[in-house]
Amino acid sequence: MSGDRKRALVVDDSLTVRIYHSSLLRNFGYEVDTAENGLEALEMAMKRKYDLILSDINMPVMDGFEFVRKLRKLENYKFTPVVFITTLNSEEDKRKALMAGGTLYIVKPINLEVLERILKSIS
């Protein structure tokens, strides 16, 4: 990428969460697209390359686990940071998220400071 802005994809079935996470990422200079489920996100990822993906887990049509498993099979997305941001807080959910190919697992709510630490840790 030659000087292009970094591009992020926010995947969540809640419009409020999509708007909030998008605004946080824009504060860090990301261009942001959103999807409301894993299937929509997967279709978007096949058309365009993202530098970062924030994904919920519980969503209709295709959940976050399945989305990330399928995403990781795409050549362009083997190493793209994927941060699960979810209300699920069990060790089993964390394990499943990492096994699916997630880079990090964060329990909602997320704020600017937490996101800043995340972005520093994965960049």
Within a domain: 39: yes
CATH number of the domain encompassing residue 30: 3.40.50.2300
Is the whole model's pTM more than 0.95, yes or no?
no
- Count of domains observed in the chain: 1
pLDDT tens readout for residues 18-27: 999 999 999 9
Within a domain: 62: yes
User: How far apart are alpha carbons 12 and 19 in whole angstroms?
Assistant: 10
Within a domain: 18: yes
User: How far apart are alpha carbons 114 and 123 in whole angstroms?
Assistant: 14
Within a domain: 1: no
Could you give the count of Cα atoms lying within 13 Å of 61 in the half-sphere of its Cβ?
Answer: 14
Within a domain: 2: no
pLDDT tens readout for residues 60-75: 999 999 999 999 999 9
